[in-house]
Amino acid sequence: MKLRLGVLGADDSLEIIRSVVQEFGEIECLPIVYWSEEEIFDLLEPHIGEADMWLFSGQVPYAMVKEWGRIHAPMAYVPHIGASLYRTLLYLSHEAGMRVNELSFDTFSPEELARFLEEAGIVHTHLWLKHYDGAIHFRELADYHERLWRDGRTKGAVTCLRTAQLELRRRGVPVYRVLPTRTGVHSVISMLLRTREMLQFKDTQITVQMMEIDSFQGLASGAFSTDELHNLEIKTTEKLLRYAKQLQGSLKTAGPGRYVIFTTRGMLRDVTANYTSVPNLEELFGIRGELVTCGIGVGKTAYEAEIHAGTALLHAKERGPGTWMVYFDDKRIVGPLGRQEQITYSAASGQLQEISRQTSLSVQTLSKLHSILKKRGTSEISAHELAMYLQIMPRSARRILMELEAKGFAQVIGEESPHPRGRPRKVYRIHL
């Protein structure tokens, strides 16, 4: 089945992107061109559900749509740094004879632009740069570039935004557009295809739904016999079997009033509207929703998924009958499903969350470090060893350890020399 890729961009960028998409036989392209940012939402509205993924020609339309929040499919945009900027500067140097310090730039962060020029061997003393996070109005960019040009500080503007380019042309300002390269577009599309493969794999993950149904509440008021209770259990089981069949899963009982359904992540995602709502069990299967308390667990194995489902059920019971909670394989707990107050929080220990607040390290990184130390059976580790376990660069591992040391959660206890002429490696003792 082909990947339906929605592509929204300015006319010149869209032409480049479409030509690259044609090289991928497994992709069906849905192109949408825009001439002003104000029309983006109206253009997208009729096509929200038509694409499996979305690709935007730049940062501004991507940021606007992300903040809009109507599209839930994976999204990406084509960056303008790297070869795209090289091409523009080469043209300006060769054809217009302009130097970097005679130009004004926008979009790029100061760090990435400085790093780009350093790698290109371009020496500069000062750069005119309008950096912004997310979206920006094209007139704000045009005003910035025009003011510098009219004051005689620059000889031209370099912009990543098509609408800003058209506005600057209208004002008579020399302007040069940074367009995406075919190589850059190819790289992003390849990344989207890998993302699709990952999502397809995740859809097949084992997912367990653990449910508690209060059979006593299902009985009529007054006296009742054990036979009536048993008959009610049988009827409930029959109804849940139909529900499990819809999920293409299997049902097993786990004690009086408790049932477990084994299915896949994709199936439960569909019936819960991407884990945001509770299916109407009463309308579909005759099971009163307020009697069902449910925990959903996602895991790398059936055992892990079942453990997570049990934990999710405990969280659901804390919030009362009829509550549904989800425990994902990345330790996120989400819920209650179907309620406005739905929240997402981490199942990591409170101690790691506190350390994360005091440092620049995420709970996920700290959890990995904690697991590594537990597996090694020691609290001591070097940056080289940490890098091997985390599959990261040694300098990144050193930054993690130095951050912990700076905040008092690690200390250097010695050094080791792996090679006679090698640089000694610091050994840290971690206190998590």
Protein fold of 350-430:
Arc Repressor Mutant, subunit A (1.10.10)
Q: What is the pLDDT of residues 113-144, one digit of tens each?
A: 888 888 888 877 788 999 988 889 999 999 99
Q: Residue 72's pLDDT is what? A: 82
* Residue 162 confidence class, pLDDT cut points 50, 70, 90: very high
pLDDT tens-digit map of 393-432: 888 899 999 999 999 999 999 887 665 566 778 899 998 7
CB neighbours of residue 403 within 10 Å: 16
pLDDT tens, 9-37?
A: 999 999 999 999 999 999 999 999 999 99
CATH 3.40.50.300 fits 204-346, yes or no: no
Span(s) in the chain for CATH 1.10.10.10: 350-430
Residues spanned by CATH 3.40.50.2300 within the chain? 3-77+186-200
* CA atoms of 26 and 400, how far apart (whole Å): 41
Pairing of strands 53-56, 75-77: parallel
Residue reference for tokens 């376990």? 389
Instruction: Report the mean per-residue pLDDT for the chain.
Output: 87
Q: What percent of the chain has pLDDT over 70?
A: 93
| Residues sharing a CB contact under 8 Å with residue 261, sequence separation 6 or more, in sequence order | 208, 209, 211, 240, 243, 244, 247, 249, 250, 251
* pLDDT confidence of residue 364: 67
If you write DSSP's letter for every residue of 101-135 in order, what string do you get?
A: GGEEEEES-HHHHHHHHHHHT---S--EEEE-SS-
Please report the pLDDT score of residue 367 as a whole number: 76
Going by pLDDT thresholds of 50, 70 and 90, the confidence category of residue 290 is confident
Peptide bond into 336 cis (omega under 30): yes
pLDDT of residue 221 exceeding 60: no
Q: Model pTM greater than 0.95?
A: no
**Partner residues linked to 9 by β-bridges:** 33
List, in order, residues 6 or more apart from 233 with CB less than 8 Å away: 215, 256, 257
Architecture of domain 3-77+186-200: 3-Layer(aba) Sandwich (3.40)
| Residues 83-179, CATH architecture | 3-Layer(aba) Sandwich (3.40)
Radius of gyration of the chain (CA): 28
